């Protein structure tokens, strides 16, 4: 039975408590002139409601009835074993987030006393399987066919879903990349299980074997731990850079398993036209050890040219807050924070960034944080290792000048 929620008209007095506590703005209060006491009435917008239960819990009159879907008792959890990592690759190059997931996946597999496997889908990528074994995988499932030369949601979803239904893993982890976010949700829907996106912490409840999946919620103001106790497998996407990479063990042995699929049965509703590589001259923000990041305080798109010059001289990358991206000063690929990328550079230079939690959650683990801002009281200046109070358009050119002068003298 699906989730359902309704307002009990005979109990509701229209006090407005449910409207004030609803985190999804799904409740409104309307006039009810026909009521003998002229009570108002709460109305729930089912297009916005997520059935979280906050309104029902806070209603003093028990006027909201919430019925939640019971856990799927048909799933025999004993049939599901093993931790899987989706080994995302593009053009034969495995994404670095995969090595981070192998490290964390190994820890989870050891706690569950089970095996760690990787799933590699692509064309002519079987040679990469040993690399995954060297990083901790006990098994690598390889699905190799020219149809998988480029990532496309439909065929990739079909083949992974078939493999999951055949082998029945207990846990599946994917990187919270552009591909992972699109791919994981489709697979979860196909195999009728839950998915927690953008996790930053994972733990096992050994008594129930449930995966405790922790992620930021409500604008980053709280950390929510989510379970899928009634379904298997348990699926999560994990943010890049929140775990350390697995170390290489060159002599490690593992099993490589070929998984064949009838490609004629795969449905593909899209056509791949081409791959456009990022043309920026500075480093990828996800992998950079030095990041120069700009926010609302940069004031204009032209200001990022100054930050690019600064980053180039330091051998780093240019990042941005959501405010700068929303203002179209810099592409989304540079965004750092809750709705962008998580980074852990050795040096993070925040220029004109106030330091809202939505941004700091994506960079607060940086080794050294330098903040440049006119406002000495803003959060970024408070958490910075070094805080430089002043106009970034005066401070940064002077730093650039000193760097160039120093290099000329050397």
- Residue with structure tokens 């989730």? 3
Counted residue by residue, the chain has a size of 410
Mean predicted lDDT score pLDDT of the chain: 88
Using DSSP, state whether 292 is helix, strand or coil. strand
Looking at residues 337-347, what average pLDDT do you find?
85
pLDDT of residue 217 exceeding 50: yes
> How many other CB atoms are found less than 10 A from the CB of residue 189?
12
State pLDDT tens for residues 113-129: 999 999 999 998 888 99
Distance CA 359, CA 195 (A): 24
Tokens 């209060």 sit on residue? 29
Q: What is the mean pLDDT of residues 183-199?
A: 90
Q: Which residues pair with residue 26 across a beta bridge?
A: none
CA of 192: how far to CAs of 81, 99, 123, 181, 187, in Å? 17, 27, 28, 17, 8
Render the burial of 315-348: b for 16+ CB within 10 Å, e for the rest. Answer: ebbbbbbbbbbebebbeeebbbbbbbbbbbbebb
Q: What pLDDT, on the 0 to 100 scale, is given for residue 181?
A: 87
Distance separating alpha carbons of residues 225 and 213, to the nearest angstrom:
5
pLDDT band at 48 (very low <50, low <70, confident <90, very high): confident
Would strands 222-226 and 234-238 be described as parallel, antiparallel, or unpaired?
A: unpaired
Specify the range with the lowest mean pLDDT, choosing from 46-55, 135-144, 215-224, 301-310. Answer: 215-224
pLDDT band at 325 (very low <50, low <70, confident <90, very high): very high
Torsional class of 33: left (φ above 0), alpha (ψ -120 to 50), beta (otherwise): alpha
pLDDT at residue 241 is higher than 50: yes
Quote the pTM value. Answer: 0.66
């Amino acid at each position: 039975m699906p989730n359902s929620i309704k307002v009990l008209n005979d109990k509701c007095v229209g006090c407005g408590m449910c409207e004030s506590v609803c985190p999804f703005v799904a409740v409104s209060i309307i006039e009810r002139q026909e009521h003998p006491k002229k009570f108002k009435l709460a109305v729930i917008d089912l297009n916005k409601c997520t059935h979280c239960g906050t309104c029902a819990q806070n209603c003093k009159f028990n006027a909201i009835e919430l019925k939640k879907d019971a856990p799927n008792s048909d799933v025999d959890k004993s049939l599901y074993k093993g931790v899987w990592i989706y080994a995302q690759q593009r053009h034969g190059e495995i994404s670095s987030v995969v090595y981070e997931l192998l490290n964390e996946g190994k820890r989870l597999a050891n706690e569950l006393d089970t095996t760690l496997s990787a799933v590699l889908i692509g064309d002519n990528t079987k040679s990469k399987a040993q690399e995954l074994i060297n990083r901790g995988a006990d098994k690598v499932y390889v699905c190799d066919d020219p149809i998988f030369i480029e990532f496309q949601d439909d065929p990739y979803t079909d083949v992974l879903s078939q493999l999951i239904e055949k082998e029945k893993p207990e846990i599946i982890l994917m990187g919270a990349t552009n591909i992972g976010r699109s791919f994981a949700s489709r697979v979860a829907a196909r195999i009728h299980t839950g998915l927690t996106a953008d996790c930053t912490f994972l733990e096992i409840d050994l008594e129930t074997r449930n995966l405790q999946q922790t992620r930021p919620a409500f604008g980053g103001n709280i950390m929510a731990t989510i379970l899928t106790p009634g379904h298997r497998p348990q699926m999560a996407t994990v943010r890049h850079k929140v775990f350390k990479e697995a170390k290489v063990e060159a002599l490690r042995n593992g099993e490589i398993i070929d998984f064949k699929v009838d490609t004629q049965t795969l449905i593909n509703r899209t056509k791949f036209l081409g791959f456009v590589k990022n043309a920026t001259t500075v480093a990828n923000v996800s992998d950079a050890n030095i990041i120069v990041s700009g926010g609302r305080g940069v004031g204009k798109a032209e200001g990022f040219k100054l930050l690019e010059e600064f980053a180039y001289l330091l051998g780093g990358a240019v990042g941005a807050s959501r405010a700068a991206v929303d203002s179209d000063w810099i592409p989304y690929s540079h965004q750092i924070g809750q709705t962008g990328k998580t980074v852990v550079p050795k040096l993070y230079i925040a220029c004109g960034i106030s330091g809202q939690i939505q941004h700091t959650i994506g960079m607060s683990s940086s080794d050294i944080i330098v903040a440049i801002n006119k406002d000495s009281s803003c959060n970024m200046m408070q958490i910075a290792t070094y805080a430089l109070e002043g106009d970034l358009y005066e401070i940064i050119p002077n730093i650039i000048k000193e760097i160039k002068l120093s290099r000329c003298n050397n």
